[in-house]
Amino acid sequence: MNIVNINRKCHYGDYKCFEEIYKTLYKHWSKLHKNKRIKNPSLQFLVDTVPMIPVFNDLFMKDSDIPGVSGKLPSLVYKKFIYHTIVHKLCKKTSESFMQFLEILFMTILEENAITGIIKLNKTCYIDRVIIENKIKILGKKDSTLISNTDIINILAKCRHRLNKK
């Protein structure tokens, strides 16, 4: 897995950065799943992505600047990553393998390593509005001014269900 490419392309947290993350990780995921000598490729993928955790932490989390709140909170780059994922990756005709990869990425790699948080969305911001509209459309929730990894997992499950029905 080439972490150098991700570090090189992820200075600003833009489309190229997010595509490089997905390309690098999914390429590795696919390689592991094609290798017949690996008994549990999903587990091996989790082990192999451990060096990515500090990269994701630096990219997606920031120190809290809220008085009385310590620790790290999701950054604007993380919100953009959520937006990118919703717009370009979820609910698209794709392979079951890619859907499983997304589930592992959000549920295990990000969530289990505290690269997460609940992000308050602002209806006047374009990116936030797109996230809100997609969340309402897919999950049917009226109060959608917050987004988290759990929402991404729920959207993924709904999309998988819809795609399997077709």
Q: Residue 139's pLDDT band (boundaries 50, 70, 90)?
A: confident
What pTM value is reported for the model?
Answer: 0.87
pLDDT of residue 1: 63
8 Å CB contact between 107 and 153: yes
Q: Measuring CA to CA, how many Å separate 30 from each of 34, 106, 141?
A: 6, 17, 34
- Nearest Cα to 151, choosing from 165, 133, 163, 139? 139
8 Å CB contact between 126 and 58: no
Mean pLDDT of the chain: 86
Locate the domains of the chain by residue range.
3-165
Is residue 166 scored above 70 in pLDDT? no
Query: What sign for the dihedral angle of Cα 116, 61, 2, 85?
Result: positive
Q: pLDDT of 39-73, one tens digit each?
A: 999 999 999 999 889 889 988 998 888 888 888 88
